[in-house]
């Protein structure tokens, strides 16, 4: 298992470009299952492990994937009558569940392993299943698999109990080919949902309202090919901007989408960092003392849970007490004990964490537990004095493309140890 070896402290200074958003690219790939005969060309695909896992699953399901270097070209290759997503694939990546809606809508049948819990929480998929049932699917749970069938899905009105990102995406994918109009209420409003809506519309779907609480989908009989560029990754980009504030550095994120990062940019300004937006460039710099500010994670347009761990690292360097409340996932503070090994003062109590700063972080051997927790430990290593070794960086590789290279270009002393 590879590790990151980091020698700190260093100020992050320079310009960096985000890759395409992993969480927009995954549903875009799943949309290829809806293709009739033409090709889907996707630009700005992040070269990360979750994307490779999804490509393997799609190949298993009969989609041909050709990587041209600049883009990924997908087309229906050979039929796979099983329409199944096996446990071995789903267990390594929960987003595999995104094939459920399109398989059902396109072939009338899907068999997808139940994902089970994961490091950050229980993460049920009951809303995906209830939504598909509302569209007329027959859903059975047997032997750890969801087996769903439908002759043709029918448009319906469905209200999610809570906003769910992949749940909304699964329903968008399915309802695009349903007969009649579907109205989805209490939808997730994340930019990744909007990106999927735009892609499906380019393929011939009739979706309006993606990015709002209510989305209307007028079903069509078939979807064709399209060419689409995935949106920039706001979570990856946000991680480097938090790194700029944490190390009292000066980083410009190029070709970003500032509107998608507004919740973070507002918070960084409140903390005392200087934030400048110029078109698609976002510059964050900081010096001296920063303010401790409370934070609550919320569905978009609230502060994203995927930047909570990185924000905690930032708060270890701010003056005073900050409280972080995690409201999306029940077990997303596993980075706290690792940060404490580096000298942070963090007390976790259920869904809340209390951080007392500023603390002088010192390098240590730490263990990554999930994707975003890994990123927070890498940032801590860059800011800390001395050597930090982050173990299990395979978590990081699921969602950050070339992180060590991007950090090196900003001046960090990060090396990959191949073990």
306 interacts with ligand EPU by CB under 6 A = yes
Binding piece for ligand EPU, criterion CB under 6 A, among 52-60, 76-84, 105-113, 159-167 = 159-167
**231 secondary structure, DSSP code:** P
Length of the chain: 419
127 interacts with ligand EPU by CB under 6 A = yes
Report the residue from 231, 346, 371, 396 that binds ligand EPU according to the rule CB under 6 A. 371
188 interacts with ligand EPU by CB under 6 A = yes
Size of site (CB under 6 A) for ligand EPU: 25
Question: CA 28 to CA 48: how far, in whole Å?
Answer: 15
Catalytic residue check, 118: yes
Question: CA 18 to CA 304: how far, in whole Å?
Answer: 17
126 interacts with ligand EPU by CB under 6 A = yes
131 interacts with ligand EPU by CB under 6 A = no
Give the residue with the Cβ less far from ligand EPU, 195 or 404: 195
Give the residue with the Cβ less far from ligand EPU, 306 or 404: 306
Residues between 15 and 74 that touch ligand EPU (CB under 6 A):
23, 26
Binding piece for ligand EPU, criterion CB under 6 A, among 157-165, 222-230, 288-296, 315-323 = 157-165
Report the residue from 43, 66, 116, 162 that binds ligand EPU according to the rule CB under 6 A. 162
Planar angle of CA 190, 196, 201, nearest 5 degrees: 130
Judge whether 401 and 382 are in contact, CB under 8 Å: no
Which residues neighbour 312 within 8 Å (Cβ) at sequence distance 6 or greater? Answer: 324, 335, 336, 339, 344, 346, 353, 355, 376
For residue 186, the minimal CB distance to ligand EPU (Å) is: 11
Report the residue from 18, 155, 167, 232 that binds ligand EPU according to the rule CB under 6 A. 167
For residue 311, the minimal CB distance to ligand EPU (Å) is: 14
372 interacts with ligand EPU by CB under 6 A = yes
Query: Which residue in 118, 187, 293, 376 is the catalytic one?
Result: 118
Judged by DSSP in three states, 267 sits in helix
Give the residue with the Cβ less far from ligand EPU, 97 or 407: 97
**Nearest to residue 29, comparing CAs of 96, 112, 107?**
96
For residue 42, the minimal CB distance to ligand EPU (Å) is: 16
For residue 231, the minimal CB distance to ligand EPU (Å) is: 12
Q: What is the CA radius of gyration of the chain?
A: 21
Q: Which helix (H) or strand (E) holds 55?
A: helix 49-60
Binding piece for ligand EPU, criterion CB under 6 A, among 116-124, 255-263, 333-341, 346-354 = 116-124
Binding piece for ligand EPU, criterion CB under 6 A, among 37-45, 123-131, 269-277, 361-369 = 123-131
Q: What is the dihedral of CA 183, 139, 128, 141, to 10 degrees?
A: 170
Report the residue from 19, 41, 113, 166 that binds ligand EPU according to the rule CB under 6 A. 166
Q: Which residue carries 């695009």 as its tokens?
A: 176
Give the residue with the Cβ less far from ligand EPU, 8 or 399: 399
For residue 163, the minimal CB distance to ligand EPU (Å) is: 6
For residue 132, the minimal CB distance to ligand EPU (Å) is: 11
For residue 28, the minimal CB distance to ligand EPU (Å) is: 11
Report the residue from 305, 313, 316, 369 that binds ligand EPU according to the rule CB under 6 A. 305
Which residues neighbour 49 within 8 Å (Cβ) at sequence distance 6 or greater? Answer: 394, 397, 398, 399
What angle do the packed helices 22-30 and 191-202 form, to 10 degrees? 30
Judged by DSSP in three states, 169 sits in helix
Taking the alpha carbons of 75, 76, 77, 82 in that order, is the dihedral positive or negative?
A: positive
* Alpha-carbon distances of 400 from 23, 164, 394, rounded to whole Å: 11, 23, 10
* Alpha-carbon distances of 364 from 15, 22, 348, 405, rounded to whole Å: 28, 29, 21, 21
Give the residue with the Cβ less far from ligand EPU, 47 or 206: 47
Judge whether 179 and 219 are in contact, CB under 8 Å: yes
284 interacts with ligand EPU by CB under 6 A = no
For residue 95, the minimal CB distance to ligand EPU (Å) is: 4
Which residues neighbour 349 within 8 Å (Cβ) at sequence distance 6 or greater? Answer: none
Binding piece for ligand EPU, criterion CB under 6 A, among 67-75, 162-170, 269-277, 357-365 = 162-170
Q: Other C-beta atoms within 10 Å of 144: how many? A: 10
Catalytic residues: 118
Name the residues that contact ligand EPU, by CB under 6 A.
Answer: 23, 26, 95, 121, 123-128, 162, 164-167, 188, 192, 304-306, 328-329, 371-372, 399
């Amino acid at each position: 298992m590879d590790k990151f070896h980091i020698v700190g402290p260093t100020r992050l200074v320079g310009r960096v470009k985000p890759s395409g958003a992993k969480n927009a690219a995954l549903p875009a790939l799943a949309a290829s299952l809806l293709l009739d005969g033409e090709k889907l060309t996707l630009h700005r695909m992040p070269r990360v492990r979750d994307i490779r896992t999804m490509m393997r699953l799609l190949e298993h399901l009969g989609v041909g994937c050709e990587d041209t270097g600049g883009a990924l070209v997908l087309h229906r290759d050979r039929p796979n009558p099983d329409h199944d997503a096996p446990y071995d694939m789903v267990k390594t990546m929960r987003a595999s569940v995104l094939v459920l809606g399109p398989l059902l809508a396109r072939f009338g049948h899907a068999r997808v392993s139940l994902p089970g819990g994961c490091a950050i929480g229980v993460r049920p998929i009951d809303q995906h299943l209830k939504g598909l049932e509302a569209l007329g699917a027959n859903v059975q749970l047997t032997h750890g698999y969801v087996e769903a069938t439908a002759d043709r899905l029918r448009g319906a009105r469905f209200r999610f109990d809570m906003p769910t990102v992949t749940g909304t995406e699964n329903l968008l994918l399915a309802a695009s080919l349903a007969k009649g109009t579907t109205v989805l209420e209490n939808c997730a409003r994340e930019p990744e949902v909007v990106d999927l809506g735009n892609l499906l519309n380019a393929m011939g779907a009739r979706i309006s309202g993606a990015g709002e609480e209510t989305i209307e989908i007028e079903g069509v009989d078939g979807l064709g090919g399209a060419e689409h560029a995935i949106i920039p990754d706001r979570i990856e980009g946000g991680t480097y901007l938090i790194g700029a504030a944490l190390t009292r550095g000066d980083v410009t994120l190029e070709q970003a989408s500032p509107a998608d990062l507004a919740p973070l940019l507002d918070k960084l300004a409140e903390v005392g960092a200087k934030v400048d937006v110029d078109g698609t460039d976002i510059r964050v710099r900081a010096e001296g003392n920063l303010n401790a500010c409370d934070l609550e994670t919320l569905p978009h347009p609230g502060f994203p849970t995927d930047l909570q761990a990185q924000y905690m690292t930032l708060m270890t360097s701010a003056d005073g007490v900050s409280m972080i409340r995690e409201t999306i996932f029940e077990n997303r503070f596993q980075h706290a004990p690792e940060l404490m090994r580096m000298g942070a003062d963090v007390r976790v109590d259920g869904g809340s964490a209390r951080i007392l700063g500023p603390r002088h972080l010192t390098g240590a051997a730490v263990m990554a537990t999930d994707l975003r927790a890994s990123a927070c430990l890498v940032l801590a290593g860059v800011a800390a004095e001395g050597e930090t070794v982050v173990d299990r960086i395979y978590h990081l590789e699921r969602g950050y493309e070339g992180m060590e290279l991007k950090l090196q270009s900003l001046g960090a002393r990060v090396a990959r140890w191949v073990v």
